[in-house]
């Protein structure tokens, strides 16, 4: 994500936060929260050919709707991992498998996974059980944009082949529209708000690079990137959830 995209995202979240907070203050029966999410990701299909298991951290702006009996919101997820199966640097490796730096010595280059997802979502509590009437089995659906790429970490700072625009020929940057489904246990109360469950993502992605240097071919076609995640989420209230609101919401 470049600086312009990051700035646009910050402005968008700030505007949504301001408007949603004003809405809750006017209505008085809404619950607004900031979400914090962490999870383990298992790649499936074409994504599993490129990456191994990884992790994600996410933030969200969440508004509870009494009519919906669930949340709607905006979420931004950042993915990271160390298991790379596809060797995008095969064309610049020596016979020994090493990558030589500008000084003629072996460069300390490590491959990592980068990923990001930005989308909107809506969910609903299908079956209420637990200590409060708002807690129970929750199902959700989201849509957004998903991108992922290989990041190169040159600790020796001597691999000039992996600097500037040269990186674009190796990093496998891929992006596309994505559908996300969730199934979780949601717990809401005046004291503590959290959820734990599964998320399934289907990305209809394609490469955004003009050429892959190792194959000397232009990447074409659409990919089906799949990911199954186990995740936990905490809701940090921006408006207080009271016992009276729990009764009203139900």
Q: Which of 22-26, 77-81, 86-90 is predicted with the least confidence, judged by mean pLDDT?
A: 22-26
Judged against a pLDDT cut of 90, whether residue 57 lies above it is answered with yes
C-beta of residue 35 within 8 angstroms of C-beta of residue 236: yes
- What are the DSSP calls for 44-71, one per residue? EEHHHHHB--EEEEEEEEEEEETTTTEE
Q: What is the pLDDT of residue 240?
A: 73
Mean pLDDT, rounded, for 191-198:
94
Q: In whole angstroms, what is the distance from residue 96 CA to residue 200 CA?
A: 40
Predicted TM-score (pTM) of this structure: 0.85
- The domain segmentation of the chain, as residue ranges, is 3-249
Residue 90 gets which letter from DSSP? G
Fold of 3-249: Porin (2.40.160)
Nearest to 231 by CA among 142, 129, 113: 142
pLDDT in tens, 197-239: 999 999 999 999 988 888 888 888 899 999 999 999 999 988 8
Cβ neighbours of residue 152 closer than 8 Å, sequence gap 6 or more: 89, 109, 110, 111, 112, 159, 162, 167, 170, 171
Judged against a pLDDT cut of 90, whether residue 11 lies above it is answered with no
């Amino acid at each position: 994500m470049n600086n312009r995209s990051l700035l646009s995202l910050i402005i968008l979240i700030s505007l949504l936060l301001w408007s949603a907070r004003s809405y809750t203050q006017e209505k008085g029966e809404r619950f607004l929260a900031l979400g914090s999410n962490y999870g383990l990701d298992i790649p499936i299909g074409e994504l599993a050919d490129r990456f191994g298991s990884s992790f994600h951290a996410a933030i969200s702006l969440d508004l509870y709707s009494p009519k919906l009996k669930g949340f709607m919101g905006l979420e931004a997820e950042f993915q990271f991992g160390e298991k790379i199966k596809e060797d995008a640097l095969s064309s610049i490796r020596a016979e020994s498998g090493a990558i030589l730096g500008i000084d003629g010595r072996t460069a300390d280059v490590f491959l990592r996974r980068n990923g990001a997802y930005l989308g909107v979502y809506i969910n609903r509590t299908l079956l209420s059980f637990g200590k409060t009437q708002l807690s129970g089995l929750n199902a959700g659906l989201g849509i957004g944009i998903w991108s992922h790429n290989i990041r190169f970490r040159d600790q020796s700072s001597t691999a000039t082949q992996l600097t500037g625009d040269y990186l674009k020929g190796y990093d496998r940057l891929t992006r596309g529209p994505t559908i996300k489904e969730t199934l979780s246990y949601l717990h809401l109360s005046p004291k503590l708000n959290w959820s734990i469950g599964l998320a399934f993502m289907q990305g209809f992605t394609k490469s955004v690079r003009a050429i892959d240097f190792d194959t000397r071919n232009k990447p074409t076609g659409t990919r089906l990137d799949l990911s199954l995640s186990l995740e936990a989420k905490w809701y940090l209230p921006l408006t207080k959830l009271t016992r009276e609101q729990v009764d009203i919401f139900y």
